[in-house]
Amino acid sequence: MSTTPITLWCLHGAVGAAADWFPFRDAMESRGYQVRAIDLWRFLDCCPRSLAETAISLNAEVQASAGVNLLVGYSMGGRIALYCLLSENSPWDAAIIIGAHPGLVTEEEKIARRNIDTDWSVKCLHGEWETFLAEWQSQGILRDASSLSDRTPLRLRRKEIARSFLDWSLGAQENLWPRLPEIKIPILWLTGENDEKFTLLAERATALMPNARHQVISAAGHRLPWQNAQAFTDAVIVFVDHISRDSTKEA
């Protein structure tokens, strides 16, 4: 392994938590890699903040980190990760994108999605927390939550989570499809074999990027890092070990 420190910065999904990454962090740190699980809600604890503004702020934090920096983004965190990679102050050497959407194309699609996410925001902020959580987790794409961290503590973040449904809605996101060819660093884009929609999106996205590879993880759906944690971790290790060898050659 390279003596150059390699740090993985992990971004959780919607209604997620930094703690979701702790088992993955333990597995990677046992191999000598550093892992930073980021609490994305802190970026919204003072005021509204767009996806682009959030990416600039996160990038600024990482710029002071020595060594090789790899960005890992799941779902909503994957969308933020794409903004991070496309920002002028991007400090990233490689990235792993998991089940992310590069953006809606038409204004009609965006309006429809914003309406849906506004409803979620109201339920999150003003409804019963347990009812909101149960309804959120009952969505077909998200039903398997057995390996995720306890969602009870997120009650204290309900204001920020409700704001994220507005500020970070897919309907508020720029259509990033035309900009994907700008991402030149190595990219591993992962999807679960049972997540047909996001697998098709990943195939399209990686075809537009000059240094990207799409890999499908078996026995998993949208929440693949937790539905098949071993296969997910194995895929990441292969990718990161390759980045590590490359950094050793360059040194």
Residue 140: the pLDDT is 77
- Where are the chain's structural domains? 6-104+174-250
| pTM for the model | 0.95
For the segment 138-152, what is each residue's pLDDT rounded down to a tens digit? 887 776 655 677 888
Determine phi and psi for 229, rounding to 5 degrees: -60, -40
Read off the pLDDT band of 1 (50, 70, 90): very low
Are 97 and 70 within 8 A, CB to CB?
no
User: Is the confidence at residue 66, as pLDDT, over 80?
Assistant: yes
For the segment 28-64, what is each residue's pLDDT rounded down to a tens digit? 999 999 999 999 999 999 999 999 999 999 999 999 8
Backbone dihedral region of 103: left (phi > 0), alpha (psi from -120 to 50 degrees) or beta? left
DSSP H helices, 63-216, are: 76-86, 107-126, 129-137, 158-167, 196-207
Per CATH, the number for 6-104+174-250 is 3.40.50.1820
Residue 145: the pLDDT is 54
Residue 143: the pLDDT is 67
One-letter amino acid for residue 135 of the chain? E
